[in-house]
Amino acid sequence: MTLISTNDIDIEKAKTSKITAVDFNNLAFGRVFTDHMFVCDFKDGKWQKPQIMPYQSMTIEPSARVFHYGQAVFEGMKAYKDESGNVFLFRPDQNFERINKSSARMAIPEFPKDYFFNGLKTLLKLDSEWIKPGVGSSLYLRPFVIATEPAISASPANEYRFMIICSPAKAYYSEPVRVLFAEKFSRSADGGVGFAKAAGNYGAQFYPTSLAQKKGFQQIIWTDANTHEYLEEAGTMNIFFRIGDKLITAPNNDRILDGVTRKSVIQLAEDLGIDWEVRRVSVKEIKDAAKNGSLKEIFGAGTAAVISPVSAFEHADEVYEIAEVEDSYAMLFKSTLLNIQHNLSEDKHGWRYEVK
């Protein structure tokens, strides 16, 4: 291995690459990782000099606070490559702002902007061959922070580790999903950490989602914790409803993640002249619309899946099938977003960030 010292990042290159052993046509999401990873530790009250090193296991003490008090936040991003070999990120400024917003809520020190972007760019240049061109192909990026200080004391840690790991990806959901409307379990509550990408938010979803899967549904659309009367999020995605020709999504609050794809879909709706509205959406409204035929589409929006159509939902033991429509908003938004991300169409809002 070669150790390269730079002014900004210490880089240790992998001696050999694992890429030749990877079947890029048959990728299980989040199971294969690139040759390198970014690491930066916080200690003595400041972030230390960042490092890039070969992807590897790491040693951490069993008393590390992340294991006991759950101080952990993360982000989800993607890198894309066009047919000319140029590499792009999609609205990375939003991910940077959000991971620091999540960190602040979990009493984790905010990460410096120059470390974040220099780390991303350097890592992507090293592992550029892992980013395959073509719509549907991408490199999923997982920045995250964990509390590493060895102390089982119920207070914020004094030591943390910020990391970025990368995983080549194809389409996350290839088929429409069937969902349950939550009637008992909640994803988050008022005054909590639902708006943050805190690791525990997702761990708490696994049990109720497993119950839904046993009934033949892939995901849950979460309802408000107080009354379970209003629809808020779909699994790990923001949720959109199309009633007639109007697009509707729930407003952001401290229970709902401020999704980058969600914001992009709303802007695209404005660009495309689609009538849209941000407001509370009740379970009753959607059930009534399904019964009278005005419910045309439900779809989730998120980084991993981009857009994921819903083909059916269940509530109070009643199942409602959603027929495919020819003028699908979901497919229109998905193709429009993918074309922007892969440098195949105009980027009028400056969302593409070229990695040079």
pLDDT number for residue 5: 42
Backbone angles phi, psi at 213, to 5 degrees: -65, -35
For tokens 């048959």, the residue is 26
pLDDT number for residue 1: 36
Beta carbons of 216 and 204 less than 8 angstroms apart = no
The segment(s) of the chain belonging to CATH 3.30.470.10 are 2-169
Q: Enter the CATH code of domain 177-341.
A: 3.20.10.10
Query: End-to-end alpha-carbon separation of the chain, Å?
Result: 25
DSSP per residue over 138-160, as a string? EEEEEEEEEE--B---SS--S-E
pLDDT number for residue 9: 95
In the structure encoding, which two tokens stand for residue 341, read together? 């991300």
CA angle 123, 128, 134 (to 5 degrees): 135
Q: Cα(165)–Cα(33) distance, rounded to whole angstroms?
A: 7
Beta carbons of 355 and 87 less than 8 angstroms apart = yes
pLDDT tens-digit readout, 75-91:
999 999 999 999 999 99
> For the chain, what is the largest distance between any 2 Cα atoms, rounded to a whole number of angstroms?
66
Q: Cα(76)–Cα(81) distance, rounded to whole angstroms?
A: 17
CATH class of 2-169: alpha beta
Beta bridge partners of 139: 79, 168
Read off the pTM.
0.94
Mean pLDDT, contiguous 10-residue spans, the chain (356 residues):
59 97 94 98 97 98 98 98 98 98 98 96 98 95 98 96 97 82 94 94 94 96 96 92 97 92 98 98 98 98 92 98 96 97 97 97
Three-state SS at 64: strand
The segment(s) of the chain belonging to CATH 3.20.10.10 are 177-341
pLDDT number for residue 173: 61
Three-state SS at 346: coil
| Torsional class of 294: left (φ above 0), alpha (ψ -120 to 50), beta (otherwise) | alpha
Q: Cα(204)–Cα(188) distance, rounded to whole angstroms?
A: 9
The DSSP symbol for 275 reads: -
Q: Cα(110)–Cα(87) distance, rounded to whole angstroms?
A: 27
